[in-house]
Chain A
Amino acid sequence: MTNKISVSIWRGKSDGEYQTYEVELRENQTVLDIVTEVQRQHEPSLAYRFACRVGVCGSCAMTVNGVPRWTCRTHVNQVTKNNSLTIGPLRNLPVIKDLVVDMKPFFKKWQTAGASFTGGKTRHDPVATISSESPGRKAADAGIECINCAVCYSACDVVGWDDSYAGPAALNRIWTLVNDERQVNKRAVLDAAFADGGCGSCHSQGNCTRHCPVELSPSESIAALKRSAFMGLPKTGAVESNKIDTGADRES
Protein backbone atom coordinates (compact mmCIF):
# COMPACT_ATOMS: atom_id res chain seq x y z
CA MET A 1 0.00 0.00 0.00
CA THR A 2 1.39 3.39 -0.87
CA ASN A 3 0.90 6.35 1.39
CA LYS A 4 -0.47 9.47 -0.18
CA ILE A 5 -0.48 13.04 0.96
CA SER A 6 -2.96 15.69 -0.02
CA VAL A 7 -1.16 18.78 -1.33
CA SER A 8 -2.89 22.11 -1.99
CA ILE A 9 -0.93 24.30 -4.37
CA TRP A 10 -1.64 27.88 -5.41
CA ARG A 11 -2.55 28.17 -9.11
CA GLY A 12 -2.76 31.43 -11.03
CA LYS A 13 -1.89 35.01 -10.11
CA SER A 14 -2.93 36.86 -6.96
CA ASP A 15 -6.60 36.16 -7.79
CA GLY A 16 -5.92 32.45 -8.27
CA GLU A 17 -6.93 29.61 -5.97
CA TYR A 18 -5.59 26.49 -4.31
CA GLN A 19 -5.88 23.17 -6.12
CA THR A 20 -5.42 19.86 -4.42
CA TYR A 21 -3.34 16.94 -5.65
CA GLU A 22 -2.80 13.48 -4.19
CA VAL A 23 0.93 12.86 -4.13
CA GLU A 24 2.77 9.70 -3.19
CA LEU A 25 4.79 9.92 0.04
CA ARG A 26 8.40 8.82 -0.28
CA GLU A 27 11.28 8.61 2.08
CA ASN A 28 13.44 11.73 2.63
CA GLN A 29 11.14 13.75 0.45
CA THR A 30 11.44 17.53 0.49
CA VAL A 31 8.64 19.98 -0.20
CA LEU A 32 10.48 20.88 -3.41
CA ASP A 33 10.36 17.17 -4.40
CA ILE A 34 6.59 17.27 -3.93
CA VAL A 35 6.23 20.36 -6.13
CA THR A 36 8.42 18.74 -8.77
CA GLU A 37 6.38 15.57 -8.67
CA VAL A 38 3.14 17.50 -9.05
CA GLN A 39 4.58 19.27 -12.09
CA ARG A 40 5.93 16.08 -13.66
CA GLN A 41 2.96 13.81 -12.93
CA HIS A 42 -0.13 15.96 -12.48
CA GLU A 43 0.16 19.52 -13.71
CA PRO A 44 2.77 20.18 -16.42
CA SER A 45 1.91 23.88 -16.52
CA LEU A 46 2.76 24.43 -12.84
CA ALA A 47 5.31 27.25 -12.49
CA TYR A 48 7.88 27.25 -9.68
CA ARG A 49 11.50 28.26 -9.18
CA PHE A 50 14.54 26.42 -7.95
CA ALA A 51 18.18 25.97 -8.89
CA CYS A 52 20.63 24.39 -6.48
CA ARG A 53 18.31 22.08 -4.48
CA VAL A 54 20.73 22.19 -1.55
CA GLY A 55 20.07 25.48 0.23
CA VAL A 56 22.64 27.64 -1.52
CA CYS A 57 20.81 29.78 -4.06
CA GLY A 58 17.68 30.71 -2.10
CA SER A 59 15.43 30.65 -5.17
CA CYS A 60 13.03 27.93 -4.00
CA ALA A 61 11.40 29.96 -1.22
CA MET A 62 7.64 29.45 -0.91
CA THR A 63 4.98 29.64 1.75
CA VAL A 64 4.53 26.21 3.31
CA ASN A 65 1.60 25.83 5.71
CA GLY A 66 1.56 29.60 6.15
CA VAL A 67 5.28 30.02 6.81
CA PRO A 68 8.00 31.10 4.34
CA ARG A 69 10.65 28.43 3.84
CA TRP A 70 13.26 27.13 1.46
CA THR A 71 11.36 24.19 0.07
CA CYS A 72 14.53 22.27 -0.84
CA ARG A 73 15.60 22.31 2.81
CA THR A 74 12.23 21.42 4.26
CA HIS A 75 11.43 17.77 4.72
CA VAL A 76 7.83 16.84 4.15
CA ASN A 77 7.56 14.97 7.44
CA GLN A 78 8.66 18.12 9.35
CA VAL A 79 5.73 20.16 8.16
CA THR A 80 2.86 17.84 7.20
CA LYS A 81 -0.29 18.40 9.23
CA ASN A 82 -3.10 15.82 9.15
CA ASN A 83 -1.54 14.27 6.11
CA SER A 84 -1.87 17.47 4.13
CA LEU A 85 0.31 20.31 3.00
CA THR A 86 -0.44 23.79 1.67
CA ILE A 87 2.10 25.37 -0.65
CA GLY A 88 1.74 28.95 -1.88
CA PRO A 89 3.92 31.71 -3.31
CA LEU A 90 5.89 34.00 -0.96
CA ARG A 91 3.81 36.64 0.82
CA ASN A 92 4.39 40.39 0.27
CA LEU A 93 5.55 40.04 -3.35
CA PRO A 94 3.48 40.16 -6.56
CA VAL A 95 2.62 36.71 -7.90
CA ILE A 96 3.72 36.12 -11.49
CA LYS A 97 2.22 32.67 -11.79
CA ASP A 98 1.51 29.83 -9.34
CA LEU A 99 4.49 29.59 -7.00
CA VAL A 100 6.66 32.18 -8.76
CA VAL A 101 6.79 35.71 -7.36
CA ASP A 102 8.28 38.86 -8.83
CA MET A 103 11.39 39.63 -6.75
CA LYS A 104 11.82 43.11 -8.29
CA PRO A 105 10.31 45.13 -5.41
CA PHE A 106 12.58 43.29 -2.98
CA PHE A 107 15.76 44.18 -4.90
CA LYS A 108 14.56 47.65 -5.77
CA LYS A 109 14.06 48.53 -2.10
CA TRP A 110 17.45 47.07 -1.33
CA GLN A 111 18.94 49.61 -3.77
CA THR A 112 16.89 52.63 -2.74
CA ALA A 113 17.74 51.95 0.92
CA GLY A 114 21.40 52.31 -0.06
CA ALA A 115 22.28 48.80 1.03
CA SER A 116 25.20 48.23 -1.29
CA PHE A 117 28.91 48.45 -0.64
CA THR A 118 31.00 51.42 -1.78
CA GLY A 119 34.72 51.17 -1.22
CA GLY A 120 37.31 53.92 -1.48
CA LYS A 121 40.16 51.97 -3.07
CA THR A 122 41.02 50.92 -6.56
CA ARG A 123 42.46 47.65 -7.78
CA HIS A 124 45.89 49.26 -7.68
CA ASP A 125 45.77 49.79 -3.92
CA PRO A 126 46.91 47.05 -1.58
CA VAL A 127 44.16 44.82 -0.22
CA ALA A 128 42.81 46.13 3.09
CA THR A 129 43.89 44.06 6.03
CA ILE A 130 41.02 43.65 8.43
CA SER A 131 41.42 41.76 11.65
CA SER A 132 38.77 39.09 11.92
CA GLU A 133 38.79 39.83 15.64
CA SER A 134 37.91 43.53 15.30
CA PRO A 135 34.47 44.37 16.68
CA GLY A 136 33.38 45.78 13.33
CA ARG A 137 34.30 42.65 11.41
CA LYS A 138 32.61 40.44 13.97
CA ALA A 139 29.40 42.46 13.78
CA ALA A 140 29.49 42.48 9.97
CA ASP A 141 30.24 38.76 9.84
CA ALA A 142 27.18 38.00 11.96
CA GLY A 143 24.92 39.34 9.21
CA ILE A 144 26.93 38.87 6.05
CA GLU A 145 25.76 35.45 4.83
CA CYS A 146 22.44 36.73 3.47
CA ILE A 147 21.64 35.21 0.09
CA ASN A 148 18.70 37.47 -0.81
CA CYS A 149 16.05 34.78 -0.69
CA ALA A 150 13.34 37.17 0.64
CA VAL A 151 12.09 34.69 3.23
CA CYS A 152 12.44 37.37 5.92
CA TYR A 153 10.77 39.97 3.67
CA SER A 154 7.86 37.60 3.20
CA ALA A 155 7.62 36.82 6.94
CA CYS A 156 7.58 40.48 7.97
CA ASP A 157 4.16 42.00 8.74
CA VAL A 158 5.43 45.56 8.40
CA VAL A 159 6.48 44.90 4.79
CA GLY A 160 2.87 43.92 4.16
CA TRP A 161 1.45 46.97 5.95
CA ASP A 162 3.83 49.68 4.77
CA ASP A 163 4.73 49.91 1.10
CA SER A 164 7.69 52.16 1.81
CA TYR A 165 9.34 49.79 4.32
CA ALA A 166 12.76 48.64 3.10
CA GLY A 167 12.42 45.29 4.85
CA PRO A 168 14.67 43.19 7.08
CA ALA A 169 17.21 41.97 4.53
CA ALA A 170 18.14 45.43 3.22
CA LEU A 171 18.42 46.86 6.73
CA ASN A 172 20.48 43.89 7.88
CA ARG A 173 22.81 44.61 4.96
CA ILE A 174 23.06 48.27 5.97
CA TRP A 175 24.11 47.20 9.45
CA THR A 176 26.93 45.10 7.97
CA LEU A 177 28.02 48.11 5.86
CA VAL A 178 28.29 50.53 8.76
CA ASN A 179 30.45 47.93 10.48
CA ASP A 180 32.69 47.43 7.46
CA GLU A 181 35.95 49.38 7.77
CA ARG A 182 36.26 49.58 4.00
CA GLN A 183 32.86 51.21 3.44
CA VAL A 184 33.18 54.92 2.64
CA ASN A 185 30.91 57.59 4.10
CA LYS A 186 29.29 55.39 6.70
CA ARG A 187 27.50 58.38 8.17
CA ALA A 188 25.45 58.77 4.96
CA VAL A 189 24.74 55.04 4.88
CA LEU A 190 23.50 55.20 8.46
CA ASP A 191 21.43 58.32 7.81
CA ALA A 192 19.75 56.56 4.89
CA ALA A 193 18.73 53.78 7.26
CA PHE A 194 16.73 56.36 9.23
CA ALA A 195 14.88 57.72 6.21
CA ASP A 196 11.15 57.03 5.72
CA GLY A 197 10.59 53.31 5.50
CA GLY A 198 13.88 52.66 7.27
CA CYS A 199 14.73 50.98 10.57
CA GLY A 200 12.30 53.19 12.50
CA SER A 201 9.39 51.33 10.92
CA CYS A 202 10.38 47.94 12.35
CA HIS A 203 8.11 46.75 15.17
CA SER A 204 10.65 44.24 16.49
CA GLN A 205 8.28 41.31 16.11
CA GLY A 206 11.22 39.21 15.01
CA ASN A 207 9.55 37.16 12.28
CA CYS A 208 12.56 37.82 10.06
CA THR A 209 14.93 36.27 12.59
CA ARG A 210 12.53 33.45 13.35
CA HIS A 211 12.40 32.34 9.71
CA CYS A 212 15.73 33.25 8.08
CA PRO A 213 16.99 29.89 6.78
CA VAL A 214 20.63 30.99 7.23
CA GLU A 215 19.89 31.78 10.87
CA LEU A 216 20.82 35.42 10.56
CA SER A 217 19.14 37.89 12.85
CA PRO A 218 17.94 40.90 10.83
CA SER A 219 15.84 41.87 13.83
CA GLU A 220 18.97 42.26 15.97
CA SER A 221 20.73 44.21 13.19
CA ILE A 222 17.77 46.59 12.99
CA ALA A 223 17.74 47.04 16.77
CA ALA A 224 21.45 47.88 16.56
CA LEU A 225 20.76 50.43 13.79
CA LYS A 226 18.08 52.07 15.96
CA ARG A 227 20.50 52.18 18.89
CA SER A 228 23.06 54.03 16.81
CA ALA A 229 20.66 56.98 16.70
CA PHE A 230 21.84 57.54 20.30
CA MET A 231 25.22 55.86 20.32
CA GLY A 232 26.53 57.07 16.95
CA LEU A 233 28.34 54.92 14.42
CA PRO A 234 29.54 51.62 15.85
CA LYS A 235 33.24 51.23 16.58
CA THR A 236 34.82 49.05 13.96
CA GLY A 237 38.34 48.74 15.35
CA ALA A 238 41.53 49.84 13.70
CA VAL A 239 42.94 48.24 10.59
CA GLU A 240 46.03 46.38 11.71
CA SER A 241 48.38 47.29 8.91
CA ASN A 242 50.54 44.64 7.32
CA LYS A 243 49.26 41.93 9.58
CA ILE A 244 47.82 39.10 7.60
CA ASP A 245 45.90 36.46 9.49
CA THR A 246 47.49 33.23 8.39
CA GLY A 247 45.53 31.22 10.90
CA ALA A 248 48.79 30.09 12.52
CA ASP A 249 47.79 31.34 15.93
CA ARG A 250 44.38 29.72 15.79
CA GLU A 251 43.75 26.94 18.28
CA SER A 252 43.41 23.64 16.54
Chain B
Amino acid sequence: MNPLRSHKSYLAFVGHRLSGVALALFLPLHFLLLGTAINDADALQRALAFTDHPLVKVAEWGLVVLLTVHLLFGLRILALEMTSWPSRYDNRTSWVIPALVISLLAGVIFWLQS
Protein backbone atom coordinates (compact mmCIF):
# COMPACT_ATOMS: atom_id res chain seq x y z
CA MET B 1 0.00 0.00 0.00
CA ASN B 2 1.40 3.39 -0.99
CA PRO B 3 2.06 5.22 2.29
CA LEU B 4 1.32 8.52 0.56
CA ARG B 5 -2.20 7.29 -0.16
CA SER B 6 -3.17 5.43 2.96
CA HIS B 7 -4.66 8.13 5.13
CA LYS B 8 -8.08 9.54 5.84
CA SER B 9 -7.92 12.64 3.66
CA TYR B 10 -6.99 10.46 0.68
CA LEU B 11 -9.96 8.24 1.48
CA ALA B 12 -12.15 11.36 1.59
CA PHE B 13 -10.70 12.58 -1.71
CA VAL B 14 -11.32 9.27 -3.49
CA GLY B 15 -14.74 8.83 -1.85
CA HIS B 16 -15.87 12.29 -2.86
CA ARG B 17 -14.77 11.86 -6.46
CA LEU B 18 -16.02 8.31 -6.99
CA SER B 19 -19.40 9.10 -5.40
CA GLY B 20 -19.57 12.16 -7.67
CA VAL B 21 -18.91 10.15 -10.81
CA ALA B 22 -21.31 7.39 -9.75
CA LEU B 23 -24.04 9.96 -9.05
CA ALA B 24 -23.49 11.62 -12.40
CA LEU B 25 -24.08 8.23 -14.03
CA PHE B 26 -26.96 7.08 -11.82
CA LEU B 27 -29.05 10.20 -11.39
CA PRO B 28 -29.96 10.70 -15.07
CA LEU B 29 -31.23 7.09 -15.19
CA HIS B 30 -33.19 7.68 -12.02
CA PHE B 31 -34.84 10.81 -13.42
CA LEU B 32 -35.50 9.16 -16.77
CA LEU B 33 -37.41 6.44 -14.96
CA LEU B 34 -39.37 8.99 -12.96
CA GLY B 35 -40.06 11.06 -16.07
CA THR B 36 -41.53 8.19 -18.09
CA ALA B 37 -43.54 7.10 -15.07
CA ILE B 38 -45.17 10.51 -14.73
CA ASN B 39 -46.14 10.68 -18.42
CA ASP B 40 -48.04 7.49 -18.69
CA ALA B 41 -49.89 5.23 -16.29
CA ASP B 42 -48.83 1.95 -17.90
CA ALA B 43 -45.24 3.00 -17.76
CA LEU B 44 -45.75 3.89 -14.12
CA GLN B 45 -46.96 0.38 -13.37
CA ARG B 46 -44.06 -1.10 -15.23
CA ALA B 47 -41.66 1.24 -13.49
CA LEU B 48 -43.06 0.33 -10.09
CA ALA B 49 -42.77 -3.36 -10.88
CA PHE B 50 -39.24 -2.69 -12.01
CA THR B 51 -38.35 -0.94 -8.74
CA ASP B 52 -39.56 -4.00 -6.82
CA HIS B 53 -36.74 -5.93 -8.35
CA PRO B 54 -34.16 -6.62 -5.60
CA LEU B 55 -31.30 -5.46 -7.83
CA VAL B 56 -33.01 -2.11 -8.36
CA LYS B 57 -33.57 -1.87 -4.61
CA VAL B 58 -29.86 -2.37 -4.04
CA ALA B 59 -29.06 0.27 -6.66
CA GLU B 60 -31.42 2.76 -4.99
CA TRP B 61 -29.91 2.01 -1.62
CA GLY B 62 -26.50 2.66 -3.17
CA LEU B 63 -27.80 5.94 -4.54
CA VAL B 64 -28.88 7.09 -1.09
CA VAL B 65 -25.52 6.12 0.44
CA LEU B 66 -23.59 7.79 -2.39
CA LEU B 67 -25.62 10.98 -2.10
CA THR B 68 -24.96 11.19 1.63
CA VAL B 69 -21.25 10.43 1.20
CA HIS B 70 -20.96 13.09 -1.48
CA LEU B 71 -22.91 15.63 0.55
CA LEU B 72 -20.94 15.13 3.77
CA PHE B 73 -17.50 14.98 2.12
CA GLY B 74 -18.48 18.10 0.18
CA LEU B 75 -19.39 19.85 3.44
CA ARG B 76 -16.00 18.83 4.81
CA ILE B 77 -14.26 20.44 1.83
CA LEU B 78 -16.34 23.59 2.29
CA ALA B 79 -15.43 23.75 5.98
CA LEU B 80 -11.81 23.12 5.09
CA GLU B 81 -11.61 25.82 2.47
CA MET B 82 -14.06 28.42 3.74
CA THR B 83 -13.30 28.57 7.47
CA SER B 84 -10.00 29.00 9.25
CA TRP B 85 -8.42 25.85 10.58
CA PRO B 86 -8.61 24.96 14.28
CA SER B 87 -4.89 24.23 14.07
CA ARG B 88 -2.28 24.32 11.31
CA TYR B 89 -2.43 20.58 10.87
CA ASP B 90 -6.15 19.97 11.34
CA ASN B 91 -7.56 19.42 7.86
CA ARG B 92 -10.66 17.96 9.48
CA THR B 93 -9.79 14.34 8.92
CA SER B 94 -11.85 13.64 12.04
CA TRP B 95 -14.96 14.20 9.88
CA VAL B 96 -14.15 11.38 7.48
CA ILE B 97 -15.13 8.26 9.41
CA PRO B 98 -18.27 9.81 11.02
CA ALA B 99 -19.34 10.93 7.51
CA LEU B 100 -19.04 7.35 6.27
CA VAL B 101 -20.91 5.99 9.30
CA ILE B 102 -23.73 8.54 8.87
CA SER B 103 -23.99 7.63 5.19
CA LEU B 104 -24.34 3.94 6.01
CA LEU B 105 -26.97 4.79 8.63
CA ALA B 106 -28.89 6.81 6.04
CA GLY B 107 -28.70 3.71 3.86
CA VAL B 108 -30.06 1.50 6.65
CA ILE B 109 -32.96 3.89 7.33
CA PHE B 110 -33.81 3.99 3.63
CA TRP B 111 -33.71 0.19 3.48
CA LEU B 112 -36.01 -0.18 6.49
CA GLN B 113 -38.52 2.33 5.12
CA SER B 114 -38.81 0.98 1.62
List A residues at the B interface (Cβ < 8 Å).
65-67, 142, 155, 157, 203-207, 209-210, 217, 219-220, 223-224, 226-227, 230
Contact = CB atoms under 8 A, between A and B. Distances in A.
B2 A66 contact: yes
23 contacts: A65-B3, A66-B3, A67-B3, A142-B88, A155-B4, A157-B4, A157-B5, A203-B13, A204-B13, A204-B77, A204-B80, A204-B81, A204-B91, A205-B9, A205-B10, A209-B88, A217-B85, A217-B88, A220-B88, A223-B80, A223-B81, A223-B85, A227-B81
Contacts of A207: 4
Most chain B beta-carbon neighbours within 10 Å: one of A206, A209, A226? A206
Contacts of B80: 204, 223
A206 B9 contact: yes
B31 interface: no
A45 B10 CA distance: 38
Interface of B: 2-5, 7, 9-10, 13, 77, 80-82, 84-85, 88-89, 91, 93
Contacts, number: 47
The prevalent SS among residues of A at the interface is helix
Contacts of A226: 81
Contacts of B77: 204
Contacts of B84: 224, 227
A205 B13 contact: yes
A230 to B, nearest CB: 7
Most chain A beta-carbon neighbours within 10 Å: one of B4, B7, B82, B91? B4
A111 B82 CA distance: 27
A236 to B, nearest CB: 16
Contacts of A210: 7
A210 B7 CA distance: 10
Nearest to A207: B4
Most chain B beta-carbon neighbours within 10 Å: one of A155, A207, A226? A207
A217 B13 contact: no
B89 A217 contact: yes
Nearest to A221: B88
A217 B2 CA distance: 22
Contacts of A142: 88
Contacts of A217: 85, 88-89
Most chain B beta-carbon neighbours within 10 Å: one of A65, A67, A210, A223? A223
B2 A204 contact: no
Given A65-B3, A209-B89, A227 B82 contact: yes
B82 A230 contact: yes
Contacts of B82: 227, 230
A146 to B, nearest CB: 14
Nearest to B76: A204
A169 B84 CA distance: 20
